[in-house]
Every structure is written in structure tokens, then in C-alpha cells.
Amino acid sequence: MKNILITGAFGLVGTDLTIELKRRFPDAHIVSMAHAISTDNGTIQEKGDVTDRAHLKEILEKHEISEMYHLAGLLSVGGEKDPPRAWNVNVEGLRNVLDLAVQRNMKVFWPSSIAAFGSTTPKKDTPQHTILEPTTIYGVTKVTGELLCQYYFLRYGLDVRSLRYPGLIAYKAPPGDGTTEYSVHIFYGALKENRYTCFLKEDSRLPMMYIDDAVKGTIDLMEAQSSNLTVRTSYNFSAINFTPSELVIEIQKQIPSFTCTYEPDHRQKIADSWPQSIDDSCARNEWGWQHEYDLQRLVVVMLENLKKKLQL
Ligand code: SER
């Protein structure tokens, strides 16, 4: 019997991941944990904060949790607004999870990000093992978290698994406070106002992925045979990459009158420090990772579904 806890359950990843976990494991006991419970997602719900170790322990014991998807965390832009909080939630929160996981012999998933890379990292086809000198607090927490995960695996034999998520694009949950999130906001702009002002330059190329691919990869990694996995920091994980102007052209194929203007702000510096494309051959070779969505399909699906959601 799988007893799964998802933290950050109502975020961009958590919302879709919960639905897919319910579909793939209909008999599982799934518990959602978050600061604020926003909707009835058909799981057991617990209000909680990952920085409160005692409360987290209680929740794990109460539901006899055997597996955890620890998604709660601040993103790149949110992190810069309050670096101490980013450290506390992203690193201390993860440490709480890892320590309790060792005690309970739990399997853990935790997301890293392309933000673990920095401006000294090769920008194209960024290799799995490369320079990690991030310049955002978010990136610093991701590199720290990756090394902690690997340490707990080596020192305590904890089965912890991780992916370096690229920019993720989804419609069910509202976008978070990140840099790649322009690629979600733009769809709201296109449908509601027929225009969008982009906070990145038109030629800022970044690695991106549709949420269904991200969720599939996440569960597949958790279900992969442990002995096949050689990476216990975090796997490079990639699908497509595009610039804002390439995304605009694709949206205009569906909505020809859509216009986008560019007003790059402080977030440009963050985008400039990240890679443009990622070499994820390790993930593809070791546990069969494959993406399905290209840019064209992603745009069609986002517009169709967001339109329904916004009742337009
Ligand atoms: N979407 C994230 C951000 O931009 C990247 O991990 O902060």
C-alpha cells in the first residue's frame, strides 16, 4: 500500500501531479499538504509548513507515509524578495524532510532546477556534470539541496531522487513567482487581453517543458529501479527550448491578432545566468525518460484548456 504525502500540493507542479498520482495509483492513500488549502483535490488534506519539523513528523506518522513528493519551495523571483526565507523554506524544509525520511525509511522526490546552473556553466547542451555556480539565492538553495540529497543517499542509504526542472508550463494552477513563468502568464494575456508585456527580452532562450511531460517524468523516476540510477544529486531533465518571440509566433498561429511587447526588468539578469538547452541523456539512458510535447502542441493545449478554465 502506497501512502503518499505531497507538499506544495496546490502549486504549479503539485496540482497536476496529484491528479496523475491518483490516476496511476487508484488504491494509494494520498495526502496533500500546503500552507493554505485552496480547493478540494480529492485527497486527504493537511494544513502545514515544512519548516515545522514537529508538525511534519506528526503528519507523517498519522498517515503512515511511505513516499513523499516534497514540492514546497520558493522560486527564483520570490527568493530574491526574501533570501533568508528562501533558505529557510528551501534548505531547512528539505533537511526536515530528509531527516524524517531516514527515520521512517521513506522514498523521497525533491525538485531541483535549471537555476542550479550559473553564468559560468556551458549554456548550450549543458552536461549532467558541470560547473554549478548559481547567482540567485534560489539557485544556491538548489545546489545545496542537491548535495544534501546525495549526502543522505551515501551516508544513510536514503532513497531520494531528483530532477532539475526546466521552466514548466501548466494551466490548472496559477503561475508561481519565477523567471520562466512569463511562458505561463503570456497565455493569460493572450486570452484575456489579446496582448502581453513580457519581462524578458524577445531572444531569451530557456529550457521549457509542458506539465504533463514533467509529471510523467517525475513519477517515472520515482518508479524506476533504484539500481539503474547513478545520479543522486539531480538529473538533467529536458524537453524543448524556445525564446519569447518564438512562443509569440506560435500563439499567433492560433490567435493572429495577439501582440507582445518587451520590457525586460530585473528578471532578465536571472534568465541570462541560466542555460539555453540541456543535455539530459543520462535520464534518457538510465530510466527511459522521453518527452512528448513540442512547442506547437503545447501552445494548442494551453490555449484550449485555459480558455475553458477562464470560461472565455
Ligand atoms: N520556474 C523556475 C523559476 O523561474 C525555474 O526553476 O524560478
- Which residue minimizes the CA distance to atom 6 of ligand 1? 113
Ligand 1 atom with the shortest distance to the CA of 176: 1
254-273, pLDDT tens digit by residue? 999 999 999 999 999 999 99
Residues 93 and 51 sit within 8 Å (Cβ to Cβ): yes
pLDDT of residue 1: 80
Ranking 35-44, 56-65, 112-121, 273-282 by mean pLDDT, the lowest is 35-44
**Which class is domain 168-207+241-276+293-310?**
alpha beta
User: For the chain, where are the E strands, in sequence order?
Assistant: 3-7, 29-34, 44-47, 67-70, 107-113, 160-165, 167-169, 195-198, 206-210, 235-236, 240-242, 259-262
Name the closest-CA residue to atom 3, ligand 1. Answer: 178
For 105-159, the pLDDT digits (tens) are 999 999 999 999 999 999 999 999 999 999 999 999 999 999 999 999 999 999 9
Question: Which residue is listed with cell 517524468?
Answer: 217
CATH architecture assignment, domain 3-167+209-236: 3-Layer(aba) Sandwich (3.40)
CA distance 222 to 66: 12
Give residue ranges with CB within 6 A of ligand 1: 75-76, 113-115, 138, 165, 167, 178-181
Atom from ligand 1 closest to the CA of residue 111: 6
Instruction: Give the ligand 1 atom nearest the CA of 168.
Output: 1
* Residue 195: per-residue pLDDT: 98
Q: Is 138 a known active-site residue?
A: yes
Q: Indicate which residue of 69, 138, 165, 293 is catalytic.
A: 138
Angle at 141 between CA 136 and CA 146, to 5 degrees: 125
Is residue 36 very low, low, confident or very high in pLDDT (cuts 50, 70, 90)?
A: confident
Task: Tell which residue, 164, 150, 166, has the closest CA to residue 206.
Answer: 166
Q: What is the reported pTM? A: 0.97
pLDDT beyond 80 at 38: no
Alpha carbon of 253 to those of 36, 238, 247, 248: distances in Å? 38, 25, 10, 9
Residue ranges of domains in the chain: 3-167+209-236, 168-207+241-276+293-310
Residue 238 burial (CB < 10 Å; 0-12/13-18/19+)? Answer: buried
